[in-house]
Amino acid sequence: MESDDDILSVLGDRYSREIIILLKGNEMTTQEIAAKLGMPASTAYRKIKFLEYMNMIKKTKVVRTLEGLDERYYRGLVSEIEIRFKDGKISYKIERIKMDDKIVRLWQKFGEK
């Protein structure tokens, strides 16, 4: 489970915020994210691993390339984060997108075309 410090760390990090924004409604690979945001691939991998641990993004599929490598695709899970600081205490609420139903996502994908 994430802590207050983890949430503040994510929101305080420019790349993490940009990844969350980029993946809202989009599926992308780590390489695509790194290229789009102009960051080193190693940084993108590290940020994605932490955001996945925080349940802010989710691996949606793995595709085997012609070279025999696996490309992992990620999608954002966060629709809203609310932070409160009151009486010296931090509280937060994260509104997450539910992605449990793959059939629903498939139909949504068809509807985009």
Residue 94, domain CATH: 1.10.10.10
Q: In terms of residue numbers, what domain contains 19?
A: 4-112
Closest to 76 (Cα-Cα) out of 62, 90, 97, 45: 97
Q: HSE-up of 20 (CA within 13 Å, CB side)?
A: 24
Cβ atoms of 15 and 33 within 8 Å: the answer is no
Domain count, the chain: 1
Residue 104: both structure tokens together:
């629903």
Cβ atoms of 45 and 87 within 8 Å: the answer is no
Q: HSE-up of 32 (CA within 13 Å, CB side)?
A: 11
Distance CA 94, CA 106 (A): 25
Residue with tokens 């937060």: 92
Residue 46: both structure tokens together:
């590290």
pTM: 0.79
For the chain, 113 residues long, give each residue's pLDDT as a single digit of tens. Answer: 678 888 989 999 999 999 999 999 889 999 999 999 999 999 999 999 999 999 999 999 999 989 988 999 999 999 899 999 999 999 899 998 876 555 566 666 666 65
57-68: burial string, b at 16+ Cβ within 10 Å, e else = bbeeeeeeeeee
